């Protein structure tokens, strides 16, 4: 019986860690929002600067600014809304 109880505690602890990882990366606050926007602008500027200085058309900063940043922002906003309204509404 003791092993079963320890196993359940371990599973609960792992679920809490997984939740906190999602919250750490996807729960959006104003500071993270500003950082995401700044990274997007910096990526656009770096993409243009690399082309202007070296004449090379590179895709890393372009893909970051056009695909990854907006995708991350959309996922974070959806996760934050679900977390704040649906999960918190169940607690009350």
What is the residue whose two structure tokens read 């058309």? Answer: 57
Q: Which DSSP letter does residue 59 get? A: S
Residue-wise pLDDT tens digits, 8-50: 666 666 666 666 777 888 888 899 999 999 999 999 999 999 9
Q: Which of 16-30, 52-66, 71-85 has the lowest mean pLDDT?
A: 16-30
Which residue, 89, 77, 71, 72, is CA-closest to 27?
A: 77
The answer to whether 79 touches 27, Cβ cutoff 8 Å, is yes
The reply to whether 16 falls in a domain is: no
Q: Please identify which residue in the block is written with the tokens 């509404």.
A: 89
Q: How many CA atoms lie within 13 A of 29 on its CB side?
A: 4
pTM of the full structure = 0.70
- Domain of residue 31 covers 24-91
| Total number of domains constituting the chain | 1
Residue 12 lies in a domain: no
**What does the pLDDT average to over 54-77?**
92
Q: What is the pLDDT of residue 26?
A: 83
Q: Please, where are the H alpha helices in the chain?
A: 2-26, 30-54, 60-63, 69-81, 88-91
The answer to whether residue 5 scores a pLDDT higher than 60 is: no
Residue 26 C-beta-side C-alpha neighbours within 13 Å? 19
Tell me the pLDDT band of 7, cut-offs 50, 70 and 90.
Answer: low
């Amino acid at each position: 019986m003791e092993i079963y109880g320890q196993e359940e505690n371990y599973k609960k602890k792992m679920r809490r860690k997984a939740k906190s990882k999602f919250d750490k990366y996807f729960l959006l606050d104003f500071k993270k929002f500003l950082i995401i926007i700044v990274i997007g602008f910096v990526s656009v500027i770096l993409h243009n600067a690399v082309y202007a200085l070296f004449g090379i058309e590179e895709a890393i900063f372009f893909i970051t600014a056009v695909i990854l940043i907006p995708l991350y922002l959309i996922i974070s906003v959806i996760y934050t809304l679900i977390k704040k309204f649906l999960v918190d509404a169940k607690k009350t």
